[in-house]
A = this chain, B = another copy of it.
Amino acid sequence: MAILGRLSRLQQLVSTEQKRTFAAHGLDAPSFDVLATLRRSDPPHLLTPAELMRSAMVTSGAITQRLDRLEGRGLVTRAPSESDGRSVVVGLTDEGRALIDRALPDHLATEERLLGALTRPERDALAGALRGLLESLGDAEAR
C-alpha cells in the first residue's frame, strides 16, 4: 500500500508550500480557506458557519475560532440569520474581498507550479482517481 503513505507525504509538502504563499499575503491556511470558500460561493458570497464547517471538514469550534480571528481583523462580518434564529450569516468585508482577490491568483500559480511535473492527461487521470476515492468514502462535497 504505497498509496496512502504517499498521499500523506504529498499533502504535507503541498500544504507547506501553500502556507508560504498565504503568508506572503498576511494569511495562514485556515484564514485563506474561509475567505476563499466565501469568495467561491455564489454571489452575494454569504455562507453560514455550518456550511464553512462542512467545506473545511473541521469541527464547529474550529470555525467559530477562525471567524473570531477574521472578524477581529475586519475581513469578514457575522450577522444573525433572518430566516433561522439559530443561524449566522458570514460575509466578506470589502477589505476581506480585496485581500482574497489578491491572494487567489498567487495560490493558483502555486498549484500550477506544484503540479508542473504532470501532463494534462496525467492530471485528469489523477483528478479522476481522487474523485472516485472521495465518492467511495462518502464525501458529499467532492467537487
A interface residues (Cβ-Cβ under 8 A, vs B) = 1-15, 17-18, 57, 108, 111-112, 114-118, 122-123, 125-127, 129-137, 139, 141-143
Contact = CB atoms under 8 A, between A and B. Distances in A.
Contact of A3 (B2, B130, B132): B130
A interface secondary structure, majority: helix
A142 B10 CA distance: 9
Contact of A142 (B6, B7, B14, B131): B6
Nearest to A33: B8
B15 A8 contact: yes
B108 A1 contact: yes
Contacts of A115: 1, 3-4, 133
